[in-house]
Structure formats: structure tokens, C-alpha cells
Chain A
Amino acid sequence: EAGVAQSPRYKIIEKRQSVAFWCNPISGHATLYWYQQILGQGPKLLIQFQNNGVVDDSQLPKDRFSAERLKGVDSTLKIQPAKLEDSAVYLCASSLARGRTDTQYFGPGTRLTVL
């Protein structure tokens, strides 16, 4: 079974530029998550989708971050404009459903450096 795919793996941009990350979840997984992992910290949930609808985006900085999951499969996360503090690894995860017992499977992440 293929895992969660993410691209690109690395991205370097200057502040105020825009950037987009792509995620393809495990086939059949209804729930998709984006996390931000700052160096030395645990992942922090940014947004959670159930199929193509947003169920939790309370921790997403909506003035600069946006995400979509068209057709309930792939997802993109965008930052516009980027700030220095956005430097982090952005992780995508998916699970069969959104119950508390459902295991989340993580992709390899995209390491973003903002200069």
C-alpha cells in the first residue's frame, strides 16, 4: 500500500514570496491533516479535512495560509506572503476516518526555509 506522498521535499524562498505544498493521501482515507512542525517542537495541527470539507481550521493563520482539498483526494497548502517564522516542516497526514482511535499516517514532509 502506497503511503502519503508530499512534494516538494524542500523549498527555499524569500520572505513575502508565496509557496504551495501538495499532498496525496493514502487511497480511501477520508480525513486529511496538515501540520506545522517547527524545529525542536512537536507537530501542530493547522487544518483538518473530512472528504473535501474543512472540519477544523482553528489554528490556521488565515490571513496568509490557505488550503483546499478538491474532489476529496489531493490537497494543497499555500502560504502567501511568507514570513521568516513560517520556516518549518509541513507534514501531511491521512486517516480512514476522524474517530479518536483512527491512526494518522504521515508523509515525509516538506521542509520550508524562509530567508
Chain B
Amino acid sequence: GNSVTQMEGPVTLSEEAFLTINCTYTATGYPSLFWYVQYPGEGLQLLLKATKADDKGSNKGFEATYRKETTSFHLEKGSVQVSDSAVYFCALSPPNNDMRFGAGTRLTVKP
């Protein structure tokens, strides 16, 4: 079946630190991969996506590369800010768009 496993949180970093949140997936066929972010009190917002192997999604300094050989889509950012504090969800969308989400990773960035 289709599923996503992401790094358990919470993650606490100091401002300007490097961020990695791991995400691996299991899928039949060729899914698209997504990272969504949920800021406190708000709904999910698309952060970035990649639709085929070796694609790199990027937005707001965040990046993730679709690695078919390792079935991974790790989220990275070179220098986090306090405003990046949120919950991050990795998700996959198979051909029927029955999207599957990971459990979420809470990130707290301290000044």
C-alpha cells in the first residue's frame, strides 16, 4: 500500500541552524511527493512538491529532492528562522490522488 514515514519530533533548533526532516515513502506506481506546513492556528499550506524522480522542489529557502532509489523526500533548509516554527507534513499522492500524510514533525526555532 501507500504510506509515508517521517521523522518524529519535536525538533528544536537555534536560529540560523541547518534543518533536515527525514521522510521516506512506500508506494505502488509513481506518486507525487509534497511537503505541507501548518503554522499555529492555521490550515495546511503547500510548501513544495516534486512530481517525478530526481525533481527538486523548493520554496522559501526549503528544498527536497525526490529520490526514487532510496524512496525518500527529505526536507532541508540551510538557515532556519523563528518564523519557520510550525508542524511539517510529508505526503504522497498516487495516481488516484488518495493522498497519504505522515504524522507530522513539530519544529521550534529559538532566537
What is the interface of chain A, defined by CB distance below 8 A to chain B? Answer: 4, 31, 33, 40-45, 48, 55-56, 91, 93, 95, 98-109
Given A91-B44, A100-B32, A109-B43: A42 and B103 within 8 A (CB)? Answer: yes
Known: A42-B101, A43-B89, A55-B96. 8 other contacts (CB 8 A): A4-B43, A42-B89, A43-B101, A45-B99, A56-B96, A101-B32, A106-B43, A106-B45
Given A42-B104, A101-B51: A95 and B97 within 8 A (CB)? Answer: yes
Distance from B38 Cβ to chain A, minimum over Cβ atoms (Å) = 9
The interface size bin for chain B is 20 to 34
Distance from B27 Cβ to chain A, minimum over Cβ atoms (Å) = 10
Evaluate contact between B91 and A42: CB separation under 8 angstroms.
yes
DSSP class of A's interface residues: helix, strand, loop or mixed? Answer: loop
What is the interface of chain B, defined by CB distance below 8 A to chain A? Answer: 4, 30-32, 34, 36, 42-46, 49, 51, 89, 91, 93-104
Across the interface, name the chain A residue whose C-beta is closest to B52. A101
| Chain B hits for A101, CB < 8 A | 32, 51, 93
| Chain A hits for B51, CB < 8 A | 100-101
